[in-house]
Structure 1
Amino acid sequence: MTRRQKSGPTRLHRRVGHADMSAVGEVRCALREFLSHRSGRQYTDVAELLLSELLTNALIHTRNGAVVTVTSAPARLRVEVRDFLAEQEPAPYVPNADDGTHGRGLLLVQSLADSWGVTAQALGKVVWFELSGRTA
């Protein structure tokens, strides 16, 4: 984890190995700590939830792990989850009633984030979201 305590943006960066599902909780805790002096609890809760959804998707649907980057600026938080599989572009869909709890992650991101998207990389892609509000 890297932090830069200056007036500009600050950043959290974490690499997660393939199928390391326990890392999802660890990265959530790191995000909570990272935001603890930057934003309110409700803002942090939303950021944690959406990060969990994106990171879980990356770990379940790809084979090479993921990289999480969180950038905090005075009026914006940007969370990026990069995977290394270019063939799959995520898209929200409405799951069937018998899908249990699966398939709702991107719907949550779409509903709760101020903006979100997918950026193709030379190898893989970055799925990101932004929250506007009080951060530092």
Structure 2
Amino acid sequence: MADLTDGRDDTDSGHGPLGAMTLCPVPESVPRARRWFRKFIARHDPACSLEDCQVMISELVTNAIVYGRAEKEWRVRVAWWREGEALRVDVHSPGHPGRVRMREDAPDDAHGRGLRLVDALADSWSVGPSAYGGTVVSFVMEKAWPS
């Protein structure tokens, strides 16, 4: 299940996201997040690699599902914003921001490379407290809409 918005009511004012979704913390939400991001961002015609954005969204939503912790029912929230020429994508989940870190991985590790991929593909990324409580991990693609 996902609650979705394409930001049509908010983009004219410049205050809201271009798109957003709220996802159940289940594995099926990862491909759903990729598909809906691509569908909603397409009308905004960004110049950055949508494939790279989809990879990073997959990694961050997967991390949110695997590592998110809460005592009650929770959701993963994903939103994307235009900030001047840049595209920023936020992934919110429960848990403490201090627990988010890049791991040292061994060559035979099957997991643990998500933030390394984000670090390699994004122009920048950050982690901090979420406005919803918990953690938000964000990445930025500069020059998504060059002047």
Bin the TM-score by the shorter chain.
0.7 to 0.9
- Residue in structure 2 matched with residue 130 of structure 1 by the alignment: 140
Q: Match for 2:86 among 61, 76, 80? A: 76
Q: Which runs of 5+ in 2 are unaligned?
A: none
Q: In the alignment, which residue of structure 1 is the partner of 2:99?
A: 89
Alpha-carbon separation, structure 2, partners of 1:56 and 1:108: 13
2:118 aligned to which of 109, 113, 119: 109
- The CA RMSD measured in Å over matched residues stands at 2.2
Question: What's the CA shift string for 1:83-102, capped at 9, x where partnerless?
Answer: 111275211123111212x1
2:108 matched residue in structure 1: 98
> What is the CA deviation profile of residues 72-122 of structure 1, one whole-angstrom value per residue up to 9, with x for unaligned ones?
34511111111111275211123111212x111100111111111111247
Structure 1 segments of 4 or more deviating over 4 A?
none
Q: TM-score by structure 1 length?
A: 0.84
Counterpart CA distance in 2 for 1:120 and 1:8 is 23
Q: Is the 8 A contact 2:86 2:142 kept in 1?
A: yes
CA apart distance, 1:21 = 1.1
How many residues matched? Answer: 133
Q: 1:7: how far off?
A: 7.4
Letter in 2 for 1:116: W
State the alpha-carbon separation in 2 of the partners of residues 56 and 116 from structure 1. 16
CA–CA distance in 1 between the matches of 2:130 and 2:121?
Answer: 25
The question of 1:14 aligning with 2:21 is answered: yes
2-structure distance, mates of 1:87, 1:54: 13
Indicate conservation of the 8 Å contact 1:8/1:73, yes or no.
no
**Identity of matched residues, %:** 30
Q: 1:60 aligns with which of 52, 57, 66?
A: 66
Higher deviation after alignment, 124-133 or 63-72 = 63-72
Q: Which amino acid is the alignment partner of residue 127 of structure 2?
A: V
For structure 1, the residue ranges without an aligned partner over 5 or more in a row are none
TM-score between the two structures when normalised by the length of structure 2: 0.79
Distance 1:33 1:74 in 2: 21
Partner of 1:26: 32
**Amino acid in structure 2 at the alignment position of 1:109:** V
Give the match's secondary structure for 2:35.
Answer: helix
Q: For 1:17-56, what per-residue CA distance to the aligned partner results, in whole angstroms no more than 9, with x for missing partners?
A: 12x211111111111112223124x610111110110000
